[in-house]
Amino acid sequence: MDRNQLLEGMDNERILFGLFFVFGNRLQAAGDSFYDEITCKQFFLLICLSLFQDEEPTVNQLAEVMGSSHQNVKQIINKLEEKGFLITVSDQTDKRKMRIKQTNKMNDLKVKYEKQEMAFMKHLYSGLTPQQIADTVQVIKMMENNLIKIKENKE
């Protein structure tokens, strides 16, 4: 019996809830097999790090962008630092803050996988129109905001 048959009769909200987990698992498995040097979660951190153009982010800033805990992000940072992809440096004005900085090795990694990443993205979004992608982004942003509100109400 295939999964679609198992899901018959279930409401779409529950199906979508489950599909988020399935999608996350499949995305992580695909990403982990994609890179020789790093995991998919480590690559995601590097993408988030590249979003900060004006100054290197702190661990807390990266955690916020990634939607993850300080502790989980710190573990990923430590592994990437061991591998030489980034370094932590003290903040110029507040020595208690540690800022995360890319190394040249990270730039080399970007160059190495650039064509493969483009092909991966093309395959991932195959069959989807730009409008479908834009609509999906908006829906997921709204759902993320709902999750943030749920968490805030629990605290």
pLDDT value of residue 155 = 67
How would DSSP label each residue in the chain? Answer: --HHHHHTTS-HHHHHHHHHHHHHHHHHHHHHHH-SSS-HHHHHHHHHHHT--SSPPBHHHHHHHHT--HHHHHHHHHHHHHTTSEEEEE-SS-TT-EEEEE-HHHHHHHHHHHHHHHHHHHHHTTT--HHHHHHHHHHHHHHHHHHHHHHHHH-
pLDDT tens-digit map of 73-113: 999 999 999 999 999 999 888 888 899 999 999 889 888 98
* pLDDT reading at 4 higher than 90: no
Written out in words, the top-level CATH class of the domain with range 7-105 is mainly alpha
pLDDT value of residue 89 = 93
Domain boundaries, the chain: 7-105
